[in-house]
């Protein structure tokens, strides 16, 4: 499975592509940051993020996109910018018919480090180890994007099985009549 991880942000939008399957060594195919100027108009910043993500989708052709789920923070302005960048990433994926998975920061941290409250440097260290890199990707947004992709690769099989079980449980049951002769 090839996953584009997106750590949304208006100034720095982390992007990273990881390929692999659960239980096997993973491979990083690319990592970076789409940057926009804080002085630019909001619309121009969103267009720049869209162009950056589209370029990553064109180059790496992922099978799905994993985006960090926006959560409430104290700073509403930051939340709005993150949500807007997140929506751009989801739109880019939807245009191509790619599935989008949303993962909370604590889900990602727990998947990668085993601790849902891990610090950024711990996430970076584990991403470095799991992908057999020489050094943690910089800035942290880039490492977070890789962590999102890793989280999705590891969680997707279990989530798919769970969804199938729920679908089967909701399927109408046709009564079976015993035929006696």
pLDDT exceeds cutoff 80 at 52: yes
Q: Could you tell me the two tokens for 97? A: 């018919």
Residue 155: domain span:
2-170
Q: State if pTM tops 0.75.
A: yes
CATH of residue 59: 3.30.420.10
Q: Which of 44, 50, 58, 68 is catalytic?
A: 68
Check residue 159 and give its pLDDT. 65
68 is known as an active-site residue:
yes
Helical axes 105-113 vs 140-170, angle rounded to 10°: 100
Residue 177 lies in a domain: no
**pLDDT of 38-47, one tens digit each?**
999 999 999 9
The Cα-based distances of 21 to 31, 44, 117, 157 in angstroms read 19, 37, 25, 9
Residue 9 lies in a domain: yes
121 is known as an active-site residue:
no
**pLDDT of 125-168, one tens digit each?**
999 999 999 999 999 999 999 999 999 999 887 766 666 676 77
Judge contact between 86 and 23, C-beta under 8 A. no
The Cα-based distances of 94 to 64, 155, 157, 181 in angstroms read 10, 21, 21, 56
As for how many domains the chain has, the answer is: 1
């Amino acid at each position: 499975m090839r996953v584009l991880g997106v750590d949304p942000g208006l100034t720095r939008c982390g992007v990273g592509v990881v390929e692999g399957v659960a239980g096997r060594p993973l491979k990083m195919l690319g990592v970076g940051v789409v940057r926009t100027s804080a002085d630019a108009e909001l619309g121009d910043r969103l267009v720049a993020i869209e162009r950056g993500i589209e370029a990553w989708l064109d180059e790496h052709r992922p099978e799905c996109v994993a985006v960090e789920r926006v959560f409430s923070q104290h700073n509403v302005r930051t939340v709005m910018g993150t949500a807007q960048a997140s929506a751009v990433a989801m739109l880019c994926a939807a245009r191509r018919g790619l599935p989008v998975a949303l993962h909370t920061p604590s889900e990602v941290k727990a998947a990668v480090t085993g601790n849902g409250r891990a610090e950024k440097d711990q996430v970076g260290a584990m991403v470095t180890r799991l992908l057999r890199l020489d050094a943690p990707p910089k800035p942290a947004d880039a490492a977070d994007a890789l962590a999102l992709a890793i989280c999705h690769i590891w969680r997707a099989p279990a989530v798919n099985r769970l969804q199938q079980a729920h679908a089967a449980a909701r399927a109408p049951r046709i009564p079976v009549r015993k035929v006696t002769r």
